[in-house]
C-alpha cells in the first residue's frame, strides 16, 4: 500500500531529540566511524565549490531534511535519532597553525569533514514480523563528496535516499527497488525534502513486506546452495557477452565468502539440521554480507541482493532453467 500524506501534527523536535539510538546499530560495518549529529554541526567544516565559494549542502542538513520528511509522514509515533556512520575523513588546519608539525597541532587548530556519510532513522511504531523476527520501518541516506566536482562553480548535488525495513535480529537493511533513489540530484535543501517525500509516498510498503514473507515458501538443499555460490563466483569471470543473458549480480567474492561462512555458522539464518535453507534466511545471509561494502555503494548492492533472491524465488516457483540454480530436488 502506498503511503498517504497524513494531516496530523508532526512529532516535536523535543520528542525526537530525547529518543535514543537503537543499541543494535551496525547497519554498515566497513571502514566506518559512528558520529553524532551534534559533531557534524559543531566540529566539522562545510566544503564549498572552489570557484565561487558557494557552500555545499552540509551533511547535517541532509540528515535534517530526511528526518523532517519522516516526521511529517509518520507523525503518530516516534522517529528515532539518526544512526550516522562516516568514512574518509578530510583533515585541515586553521591559518595560524601553518608550518606547525602535525603531531604538535592542538585540537582547536585542526579542521575536519567527512567525504562519505551514511545514516538511518528507525520508525519503530511502523513494523512487521517475518519468521517471528521483528522488522522496523527505516529511512536514511548516503552522501559522498567524491561524486561532486568541488573545484568548479556551484552545481547540482547528488544524494542517495532510501526507505525500507531493518531486521532487528541482525540490523540488516531490507531495501526494495522502489524504496531506493540512488541518484537524487538537487540544488537546495527544499528540493531535497520534496524529492525525498516523493520517494517515501511512492514506496509500496505492503507489497515489499509480502514479497519478503513469500521468500519463506521456497527452500534449497545443500547441493543447490553449493551450486549457487559456485556459479556466483564463476559469474564474475564470464565475458561481457555471457553476462548479458544473466542476472546483473553485484555481490563480490568477499561477500560470497561471508555468505558461505554464515551459512554454516549463523544461529538465526544458517542451514538447518537437515541441510536446507529457505530463501528468507538466504536473503538475510546476503544482506549481512552487504554490510561490508563501502558507504557509497552498499545501498545499491543491498537492493541488488533483494532483486537477486527474488530472481531465484521466481525460478524455483516456476521450475525454470536458471544459471545459478539446479532444478532437481527442489523442496517447496
Instruction: Tell me, letter by letter, the H, E, C secondary structure of 14-32.
Output: HHHHCCCCCCCCCCCCCCC
Neighbour count for residue 154 (Cβ, 10 Å)? 16
List CB contacts of 133: < 8 A, sequence separation 6 or more.
Answer: 167, 168, 169, 268
d(CA 139, CA 159): 14
d(CA 28, CA 292): 7
List the grid coordinates of 93.
588546519
Least-confidence region, from 25-34, 105-114, 271-280 = 25-34
- Residue 100 has what DSSP assignment? -
d(CA 304, CA 78): 30
**Structural contact between residues 21 and 83, judged by C-beta atoms closer than 8 angstroms:** yes
Neighbour count for residue 57 (Cβ, 10 Å)? 19
Q: Mean pLDDT over all residues of the chain?
A: 89
Least-confidence region, from 58-62, 145-149, 324-328 = 324-328
8 or 108, higher pLDDT: 108
d(CA 303, CA 164): 10
140 or 5, higher pLDDT: 140
Assess whether pLDDT exceeds 90 at residue 25: no
Assess whether pLDDT exceeds 70 at residue 15: no
List the grid coordinates of 31.
571502514
List the grid coordinates of 250.
553485484
d(CA 215, CA 53): 51
- Closest listed residue to residue 280, CA positions, set 224, 220, 235, 328: 220
What pTM was computed for the model? 0.88
List the grid coordinates of 89.
575523513
- Closest listed residue to residue 290, CA positions, set 322, 324, 249: 249
Longest dimension (CA), the chain: 72
Mutual angle of helices 253-265 and 222-235, in 10-degree steps: 170
Assess whether pLDDT exceeds 60 at residue 11: no
pLDDT for 58 equals 96
d(CA 332, CA 330): 6
Rounded percentage of the chain residues whose pLDDT exceeds 70: 91
Query: How does residue 8 score in pLDDT terms, banded at 50, 70 and 90?
Result: very low
pLDDT for 24 equals 53
Amino acid at each position: 500500500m502506498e503511503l498517504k500524506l497524513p494531516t496530523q501534527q508532526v512529532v516535536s523536535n523535543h520528542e525526537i531529540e530525547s529518543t535514543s539510538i537503537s543499541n543494535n546499530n551496525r547497519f554498515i560495518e566497513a571502514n566506518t566511524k559512528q558520529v553524532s549529529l551534534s559533531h557534524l554541526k559543531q566540529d566539522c567544516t562545510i566544503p564549498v565549490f572552489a570557484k565561487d565559494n558557494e557552500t555545499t549542502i552540509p551533511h547535517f542538513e541532509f540528515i535534517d531534511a530526511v528526518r523532517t520528511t519522516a516526521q511529517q509522514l509518520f507523525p503518530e509515533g516516534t522517529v528515532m535519532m539518526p544512526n550516522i556512520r562516516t568514512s574518509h575523513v578530510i583533515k585541515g588546519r586553521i591559518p595560524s597553525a601553518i608550518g606547525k608539525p602535525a603531531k604538535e597541532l592542538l585540537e582547536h587548530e585542526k579542521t575536519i569533514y567527512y567525504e562519505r556519510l551514511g545514516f538511518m532513522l528507525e520508525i519503530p511504531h511502523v513494523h512487521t514480523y517475518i519468521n517471528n523476527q521483528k522488522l522496523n520501518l527505516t529511512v536514511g541516506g548516503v552522501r559522498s563528496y567524491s561524486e561532486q566536482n568541488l573545484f568548479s562553480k556551484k552545481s547540482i548535488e547528488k544524494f542517495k535516499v532510501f526507505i525500507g525495513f531493518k531486521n532487528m535480529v541482525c540490523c540488516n537493511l531490507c531495501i526494495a527497488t522502489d524504496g531506493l533513489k540512488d541518484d537524487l540530484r538537487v540544488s537546495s535543501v527544499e528540493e531535497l525534502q520534496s524529492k525525498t517525500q516523493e520517494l517515501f509516498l511512492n514506496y509500496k510498503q505492503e507489497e515489499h513486506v509480502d514479497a519478503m514473507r513469500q521468500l519463506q515458501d521456497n527452500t534449497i538443499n545443500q547441493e543447490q546452495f553449493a551450486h549457487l555460490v559456485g556459479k556466483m563466483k564463476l559469474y564474475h569471470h564470464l565475458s561481457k557477452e555471457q553476462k548479458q543473458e544473466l542476472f546483473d549480480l553485484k555481490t563480490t567474492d568477499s561477500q560470497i565468502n561471508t555468505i558461505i561462512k554464515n551459512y554454516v555458522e549463523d544461529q538465526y539464518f544458517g542451514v538447518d539440521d537437515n541441510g536446507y535453507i529457505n530463501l528468507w534466511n538466504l536473503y538475510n545471509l546476503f544482506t549481512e554480507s552487504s554490510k561490508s561494502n563501502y558507504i557509497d555503494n552498499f545501498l545499491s548492492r543491498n537492493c541488488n541482493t533483494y532483486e537477486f533472491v527474488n530472481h531465484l524465488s521466481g525460478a524455483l516457483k516456476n521450475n525454470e532453467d536458471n544459471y545459478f540454480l539446479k532444478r532437481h530436488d527442489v523442496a517447496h
